[in-house]
Amino acid sequence: MATIESSNAVNEQPAQAVQLAATARFSNRADAPEHARQAHYVRQEIMKEGDRLRGKYPFLQRKYESAISALIMLLSLAGMAATAWAYVQGVMPGWAALMINAVLAAVIHELEHDLIHWMYFRKTPWAHHLMLALGLIARPTTVRPWLRRSAHLNHHQNSGQEEDIEERAITNGQKWGILRLIMLADLPFAIAMHTLAQPGWRQKLWYVGYVGGALFPLGILSWSAWYLFLGFHLGNALFAPQWSATTLQVMSWINVAIVVWVAPNILRTFCLNFLSSNMHYFGDVQRGNLIQETQVLDAWFLFPLQLFSFNVGKTHGIHHFVVREPFWVRQMTMKRAHEVMREAGVRFNDLQTFRRANRWSKDGEAINGNTANAAG
């Protein structure tokens, strides 16, 4: 299991978030590496498709993006609140409320991701930070976005490398097995495993403090409620204890919070992390080679995971080529993007990545030369 060092953080400047594509990654010069010329082609074609859609649908124009993001946030929050109300009133079963709010939370996660790249309200900081705060309230089981920003921008600069702490934190590059599966589903367990992997007690203490601070306060509150919920119902099943009236009243509120707030986000996070950690390659990726950084996971049987992560397996690779594109436009450019990505050598449904612990190279395949043909 990988260690995660504090020195990997990067500066949080908005310009850096907008201009992540270094010249070495995208170039149409004749003397540029083949992967850079292929990435340039993919980027240009995706941007052309985005421009075509903006011409066809004027509401997609850049000047409306912040307003659209705010509208999506408000509708998603209203939907989560209405679902919670319907569950409390007995109108909606718990499983339906959980699934609906997981989908809505996935939409809000996409908004937060774009906000991390400073796509919305860049000139209105109070609105920008309000959107981030609302997204955190809707998704309490995750780290605070202001701290996540540095790790995510670093991910774009160092995708597939040892420095990519964001993907490594969600098990990218680890050997597959029951341990990795549990780490994907249970954040505190994953933190414990990563803490044990740190090389010394100072690093262990730093890691616990850093992650604990990143989760404070909602992450700690929501995960504590989750374990209390599990312990309470496990205790009932095994021992049938006589609880006090106060305990039962408190647990009735915790039960509601779990169904409509905490459990939807645990489901959403598992689906997101499962797809993200396996669509990114790790360890033997040629630095700056976008063709090798990600694959596209769009197999039909992945639909449940796509549903609760808002199609991240299909669209996140597009984001690596065109960073500053709203998530709703990524969904609309997906068909054309996949065509040119496949042409350029981006892999599709390379399920052998599970066997290779997310390494790019297949048996006997070079990794530092030209990109391989697309798989699948």
Instruction: Give the whole-angstrom CA distance, residue 105 versus residue 135.
Output: 8
Q: What is the pLDDT of residue 237?
A: 95
CB neighbours of 187 closer than 8 A, spacing ≥ 6?
Answer: 141, 142, 215, 219, 223, 269
CB neighbours of 315 closer than 8 A, spacing ≥ 6?
Answer: 327, 330, 331, 334
Residue 294 sits at φ, ψ, to 5 deg, of: -135, 165
Q: What is the pLDDT of residue 5?
A: 46
CB-based contact 165:171 (threshold 8 Å): no
* 287, burial (CB in 10 Å: exposed 0-12, middle 13-18, buried 19+): middle
Q: Across-strand partners of 294?
A: 280
Tokens of 31: 């003397």
Where is 208: in which H helix or E strand?
helix 201-215
pTM above 0.85, yes or no: yes
Instruction: Give the whole-angstrom CA distance, residue 38 versus residue 369.
Output: 13
Three-point CA angle 84, 216, 248, nearest 5°? 45
Q: What is the pLDDT of residue 219?
A: 98
Q: What is the pLDDT of residue 156?
A: 95
Q: What is the pLDDT of residue 17?
A: 40
**What SS3 state is found at 257?**
helix
CB neighbours of 239 closer than 8 A, spacing ≥ 6?
Answer: none
Q: What is the pLDDT of residue 336?
A: 98
Tokens of 280: 């990114």
Q: What is the pLDDT of residue 366?
A: 47
Count CB atoms within 10 A of the CB of residue 268: 26
Tokens of 182: 């549990």
Classify the C-alpha dihedral 322-326-331-336 as positive or negative: negative
Give CA 199 to chain center in angstroms.
27
CB neighbours of 3 closer than 8 A, spacing ≥ 6?
Answer: 197, 198, 199, 203
Q: Which amino acid is at 33?
A: P
Count CB atoms within 10 A of the CB of residue 162: 15
CB neighbours of 204 closer than 8 A, spacing ≥ 6?
Answer: 195, 196, 198
Q: Could you list the pLDDT tens digit for every one of the 376 residues in the chain?
A: 655 444 333 444 444 443 444 447 888 888 889 999 999 999 999 999 999 999 999 999 999 999 999 999 999 999 999 999 999 999 999 999 999 999 999 999 999 999 999 999 999 999 999 999 999 999 999 999 999 999 999 999 999 999 999 999 999 999 999 999 999 999 999 999 999 999 999 999 999 999 999 999 999 999 999 999 999 999 999 999 999 999 999 999 999 999 999 999 999 999 999 999 999 999 999 999 999 999 999 999 999 999 999 999 999 999 999 999 999 999 999 999 999 999 999 999 999 999 999 999 987 454 444 443 333 3
CB-based contact 156:20 (threshold 8 Å): yes
- Helices H / strands E in the chain, number of each: 17, 0
Instruction: Give the whole-angstrom CA distance, residue 2 versus residue 194.
Output: 7
**What SS3 state is found at 354?**
helix
CB-based contact 46:322 (threshold 8 Å): yes
Q: Which amino acid is at 137?
A: I
